[in-house]
Structure 1
């Protein structure tokens, strides 16, 4: 079995210069939890997930600075304050940059191995030009595998 047989071909991507507000709107509107990040030519530059966003917008706690025998204490930040200045941050500043990817022609077992080893939820599928042509997600793979198991069971029962 090949990656191309299981990948989602109608993949949603995020432009690396898209502001956080746009990424959030996409995730909520399309009910997704991550997406490949691409440059203007559609080439993979990273991955951004809901977890990356939450970690980024997480308000800072109270911080203590000790400078030249003076102690400064910053007040804790509120979520509204954090969002106010973080909402225009481009995706390329939030994304994971060193991402694994697979090609459509790779064996599915290789993709499963990468997903399992690195605990990824999604894996971008790229062509030889590093353009995103699909994505493989754990949930979609499980659905496909369960469907194929059902088909095999039905064939076994009918014999």
Structure 2
């Protein structure tokens, strides 16, 4: 079985100028952990994950220790922050050194790579052009012979 055999191909992509707000919509719509970012020719140039989005909206590293954050008016800070970042483009938050797989690669390679690198989704390409995405649940379903 290959990565291409189980890849979800009906995945919507973003461009480098897609806004943070639009990316959140794509993440919610797809139920996926990441939105691939492609250029005009469909080549994979990045990915924006849920982690990337939250990191932009909530700069937790600036808030200090979690136990100290309860002393801060987070609602006010978050509302102001959301207004600042709502239109931020994908290019400012995407991971550009994307780990991807070619569709002809064995499923075992995807499985081991995702586990070792702690990836939740992996974009699938054909000669560098984005063709789909594989998630952990896609692999589990394929291995168990279950497809929904």
- Residue from 123, 129, 132 that aligns with 1:131: 129
Aligned partner of 1:145 in structure 2 is 143
Aligned partner of 2:29 in structure 1 is 29
Which segment drifts farther, 10-19 or 75-84? 75-84
TM-score when normalising by structure 2: 0.82
Bigger RCO (CA 8 Å, 6+ sep)? 2
TM-score when normalising by structure 1: 0.77
Matched ranges for 1:8-157 at <5 A:
8-59=8-59, 60-61=62-63, 78-128=77-127, 130-147=128-145
Q: Return structure 1 stretches of 4+ with deviation > 4 angstroms.
A: none
Distance 1:81 1:109 in 2: 45
Distance 1:6 1:32 in 2: 15
Instruction: Compute the RMSD of aligned alpha carbons.
Output: 2.0
Listed as ranges, the gaps of 5+ residues in structure 1 are 63-74, 149-159
Cα deviation digits, residues 54-103 of structure 1 (max 9, x gap): 011105538xxxxxxxxxxxx98700110111111101111111111111
Which segment drifts farther, 111-120 or 23-32? 23-32
Distance 2:32 2:4 in 1: 21
Aligned CA distance change for structure 1 residues 100 and 147 (closer, same or farther; 3 Å): same
Quote the offset at 1:137 in angstroms: 0.6
Aligned CA distance change for structure 1 residues 116 and 125 (closer, same or farther; 3 Å): same
Distance 1:119 1:31 in 2: 18
Cα deviation digits, residues 15-39 of structure 1 (max 9, x gap): 1210101111222233332121111
User: Secondary structure in 2 aligned to 1:111?
Assistant: helix
